[in-house]
Amino acid sequence: MKTYLVTGGAGFIGSNFIHYMFNKYGDDIRIINLDVLTYAGNLENLKDIENRDNYTFVKGDICDKETVSRIFTENDIDYVVHFAAESHVDRSIKNPEVFVQTNVLGTAVMLNCAKAAWEQEDGSFKEGKKFLHVSTDEVYGSLPEGNGYFYEDTPYSPHSPYSASKASSDMLVKAYMDTYKFPANITNCSNNYGPYQFPEKLIPLMINNALSGKKLPVYGDGKNVRDWLYVADHAKAIDMVINKGRLFETYNVGGHNEKQNIEIVNIIIETLQETLDDSDSRKALVTKDLITYVEDRKGHDRRYAIAPDKIRKEIGWEPETMFKDGIKLTIKWYFAHEDWMKNVTSGDYQKYYNDMYKV
């Protein structure tokens, strides 16, 4: 039985990955979930698996060396899947120090603890161990509209405190691979969407606001382009890189779903109108009149687009969910989990939302 240490497993992508792994492997694996439970970490995301004998939750900070070391000492960890990170660009602009602390120092702690547990006396590493560092396409900077893609050898050019902190953590992992031959891979993914995403991010924010008849804040002219990846497809890619990825390699994970932000908002409105029953009073609230253009984000990258050629050629992964299907699945999930949305959008989140968007 392989043991996975998943950091940030109560967050959006982490919880989806844990669900994916248990759905695929059942009782044949063991997962330890280390999460400090910031605003974006929610144990409700994992309610249906919390009582499994092969699942353990540890509340702890990846920056806490004592806690992380203890997990490695008490368990024979085969794979680290490192999701834990501060990830919202707007928050990084407001408070960059937190992003450096978690994303850079936290990654250093995780690397050092894994290295200490897996390294042998001759400097080599135990067979079958791997550290998978999950990163973002934002480290590559911005692309011209309609021209070019990010490849694994694209030079880094981060523009926000968030992307700079993730680029720094990537470089740490690369340094450990180069210096120590530390067994690791890096994945850089495009924008994820799907169940359990905290509604500060574009898609769940727009779904939640539209259903409440609230304004739909769109930065600038709304024509910034992102490549959208359904989260279950991302989880599959991570599993495949763990099992088939060549050590020391980076793999870009993209969805082949490039869309302007304003396109996304319009698709959400149209899909909600199609999905809502005529008897549902919310249907009348969901109109394009809710779209409200707000002052553009500082340093807002114009376009991201990933070429997942390498992961397709070497590992055989391809995205399976086109956006028109993925957005329907996502909206269907939020309809079925309205209590979840109410719980995460109370209290401090509302104050943050009002301060950020001023609407």
- Annotated catalytic residues are 137-138, 162
- Spatial contact of 277 and 283, defined as CB atoms under 8 Å apart: yes
Closest C-alpha to 83, from 174, 204, 166, 196: 166
